[in-house]
Amino acid sequence: MRNLRLFALTIAVLAGLFGVQFVISGYPVLALTRILILAVFAMGYNVLMGYTGLVSLGHALFFAAGLYGAGLAAYYGGVALPIAFAAGIAAAAVLSLVVGLLALRTQTVSFMIVTLMFAQAGYLATLHFSAITGGDQGLSLPAHARSFSLLGQEIALTSATARYNIALAVFAVVLLALYALTQGPRGRLFAAVRENPERTRMLGYDVGRIRLLAFTVSGTISGVAGALYGLMFGFIGSSFAEFRSSVEVLLFTLVGGPGTLFGPLVGTTVMTLLIDRLSGLTSAYLIAVGVLLIVLTLWFPKGILGTIRDRWAPWLR
């Protein structure tokens, strides 16, 4: 049977996240909204890096695919936000399938470099086609793209409550879907490929297809985050396709614990709040972040939740 304790924790976390909006207000709600969106990005990355053992340096490409797919559909197509959101997810899904087919022909360091190159090509494409994308200066979404109708209700993305609950809803769907995926047979196959691809192949499984599935799921979820971010903040720009975005999501996952369901949420929360708090105190906050990463590497080499899982709670995977 699946991991019931983790399922109970999943429900508890979602209930807690829903309830917390009645306790806190103002900036913490806005900050938590951003954290949830970025945590979805990290959860997508975690499917590939944490569960399947493939380190990509190019996931900014898929985040940007979602961002541009949704943003351009809303900006030029004038479509309703839910359709724009779906367009962003579809763009990321197709792109991750195509890139996966090519990049998965390589492994380890070569794979990292190839994914990085694809992402750089995507970034430069957003600059090159600036007549459409707005390039580095980006595009601000028009007023009609700041609200949508749902079951007869007009929902404005300018409302902090609406923003939080939309982010939470998307986060919850992705979290539950990933619970089902990673704690079931597919998840065990991902782990098998990560731990010993040769043995997995000997057992009759097609390692290439498993990796491609993980890559596509990972890229698509990253695109979900990108689409949500672009629509939520009403701005799309090439800086989201930069290498920095790929590194950020790698750090979020590493800090929280690769290969754990909640690691990305923990990592994103810690890193986001740390930067947010320290940057108000000193311009050298990145040094403090660097020190934290060194400390984590020394004492929590598998990230915060990864360490807790290994030592005390093996079900926390």
Partner 1 sequence: MDLNTPATRAALLPRRSLLQGIAAGGALLTAPGLIGRAQAQAGDAIRLGAPFHRTGIGASYGRWYERTANAALKIVNEQGGINGLPVQMIVEDDGTDPKRGVEVIEKFATEHKVDAVFGHLFSHVVAACAPRAGELKMPYFLCSEGHALAAGQFNRYVFQPSITDVKSQISSMGPWIADNLGKKVALIYPDYAFGYDHRDNMTAAIQAQGGTITASIAIPPTETSFTRYLPRIPFDTEVIYHVMVGPAVLTFVKELGEHLGSRRPEIFGFIDSLEAVPLNQPQLAFLENTYFWEAQPRYAQPDQTEFDKFYRAAVGVDDSGATIGNPQDVATFSHMFSVWETLFAIKRAMEMADYRGPAQKIAMLEAMESIPGFDASNEFPQGDKIFNGKTHQSFGHQHISKFEGGRLNVVHSTTIEDTFYPDETDYTKMSF
Stretch near partner 1 under the rule CB under 8 A, chosen from 26-34, 47-55, 85-93, 102-110: 26-34
Residue 220: partners with Cβ closer than 8 Å, 6 or more residues away: 44, 62, 89, 92, 93, 96
**Per CB under 8 A, which of residues 259..298 are in contact with partner 1?**
269-270, 273-277, 279-281, 283, 285-286
3-state secondary structure of 156: strand
Min dist. Cβ of residue 31 to partner 1 (A):
8
- Residue closer to partner 1, measured from CB, 43 or 139: 139
Q: Is 243 in the site for partner 1 (CB under 8 A)?
A: no
Stretch near partner 1 under the rule CB under 8 A, chosen from 123-131, 166-174, 190-198, 208-216: 123-131
Residue appearing with tokens 């839910």: 82
- Residue closer to partner 1, measured from CB, 205 or 233: 233
Q: Is 217 in the site for partner 1 (CB under 8 A)?
A: no
Strands (E), 51-110: none
Residue appearing with tokens 């806005």: 30
Give the other-Cβ count within 10 Å of 282's Cβ.
Answer: 10
- Residue closer to partner 1, measured from CB, 100 or 223: 223
Q: Which tokens in the block code for residue 156?
A: 């404005």
Find the binder of partner 1 among 8, 12, 15, 30 (CB under 8 A): 30
Interatomic CA distance for residues 298 and 314, integer angstroms? 21
3-state secondary structure of 81: helix
- 149 pairs with which residues across the strands? 154
Q: Is 313 in the site for partner 1 (CB under 8 A)?
A: no
Find the binder of partner 1 among 9, 28, 121, 208 (CB under 8 A): 28
Q: Is 7 in the site for partner 1 (CB under 8 A)?
A: no
Find the binder of partner 1 among 113, 135, 147, 181 (CB under 8 A): 135
3-state secondary structure of 284: coil
Stretch near partner 1 under the rule CB under 8 A, chosen from 5-13, 77-85, 95-103, 231-239: 231-239
Q: Is 22 in the site for partner 1 (CB under 8 A)?
A: no
Find the binder of partner 1 among 110, 137, 149, 196 (CB under 8 A): 137
Contact 60, 245 (CB under 8 A): yes
Cα separation values, 28 from 42, 158, 161, Å:
20, 16, 12
Q: Is 247 in the site for partner 1 (CB under 8 A)?
A: no
Contact 66, 47 (CB under 8 A): no
Give the other-Cβ count within 10 Å of 94's Cβ.
Answer: 16
**Amino acid letter at 205?**
Y
Q: Is 20 in the site for partner 1 (CB under 8 A)?
A: no
Summarize as ranges the residues that interact with partner 1 (CB under 8 A). 26-28, 30-31, 34, 124, 127-128, 130, 134-141, 146, 158, 233-235, 237-240, 244, 269-270, 273-277, 279-281, 283, 285-286, 299, 304, 307-308, 311-312
